Every structure is written in structure tokens, then in C-alpha cells.
């Protein structure tokens, strides 16, 4: 703010955006905690585990979309401050959350197929 007084308003938009993206992160963290408690209670192969994985996938996708939408704002802040590392950090967050979304989608599909196979085996006995 002291070096560039004409762009001090940008930092408030960046902070609001960061707090906005923290909401799906903490919701996904809560879903992961619930998933671990299901595993601890031997309910890993149930529909509630699939739902928790689906919620984690959607949260990761929403974080990626929010950061991709906010990249012009980060670019503006980085351009005024001559700090290109901010853009690189934003891209890392986007790609990391997409990797988490893909991993959660694969686990969700595998878990759903395992539940289907388990239910078929229970019916044949």
C-alpha cells in the first residue's frame, strides 16, 4: 500500500477471493474426515462413502473453477507488484485441485463398483 497507493483496493479483492475459496476446501476436509470415520466404523463399502467422495470431487472442481476465474485478478495484482510467482502459485492450486478431483472420481467409481459386486455376492449366497 505504501509503494503503490493507487492499487491498494486490489488486495482486498484478492483476500475476499481467497476466503471464498476456503469454504469448499474446509467442506472437503470435513467430508474427508467423515470418510475416515466411516472406514473406522467398517462402513467403507457403503453409499455414504460414495457420497462423501462425490462431495470431495465437487469441492475440488469448485476450487479449481474459482481459482481459474480469479486468475485475472491475481494477474493484475502480480503485474502491479512485479511478482510473477503469484500466477505460478495460482496455477499450482488449479492443477492440484484438478488432480484431487480426478483421484476422487476414480475412487468413487471403484467404490461404487465394489459395492455393486458385494451386493451381488450377498444375493447369491
Contact 112/50 with Cβ under 8 angstroms?
A: yes
Interval 56-107: pLDDT, tens: 999 999 999 999 998 887 777 777 666 777 788 888 999 999 999 999 999 9
For 93, residues 6+ apart whose C-beta sits below 8 A from its C-beta are 63, 64, 67
Q: Are 24 and 66 in contact (CB under 8 A)?
A: yes
Question: pLDDT at residue 124 above 80?
Answer: no
- The whole-number pLDDT of residue 55 equals 96
Per-residue pLDDT for 17 more than 60? Answer: yes
pLDDT of residue 1: 54
DSSP characters for 24-74? HHHHHHHHHHHHHHHHHTT--SSHHHHHHHHHHHHHHHHHHHHHHHHHHHH
Report pTM.
Answer: 0.83
For 20-36, how does the pLDDT look when each residue is reduced to its tens digit (9 = 90+)? 999 999 999 999 999 99
Amino acid at each position: 500500500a505504501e509503494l503503490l497507493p493507487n492499487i491498494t483496493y486490489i488486495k482486498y479483492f484478492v483476500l475476499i477471493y481467497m476466503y471464498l475459496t476456503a469454504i469448499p476446501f474446509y467442506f472437503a476436509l470435513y467430508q474427508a474426515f467423515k470418510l475416515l470415520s466411516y472406514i473406522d466404523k467398517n462402513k467403507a463399502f457403503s453409499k455414504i462413502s460414495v457420497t462423501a467422495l462425490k462431495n470431495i470431487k465437487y469441492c475440488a472442481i469448485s476450487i479449481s473453477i474459482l481459482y481459474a476465474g480469479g486468475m485475472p485478478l491475481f494477474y493484475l495484482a502480480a503485474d502491479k507488484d512485479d511478482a510473477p510467482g503469484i500466477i505460478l502459485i495460482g496455477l499450482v492450486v488449479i492443477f492440484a485441485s484438478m488432480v484431487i478431483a480426478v483421484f476422487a472420481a476414480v475412487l468413487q467409481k471403484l467404490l461404487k463398483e465394489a459395492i455393486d459386486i458385494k451386493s451381488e455376492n450377498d444375493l447369491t449366497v
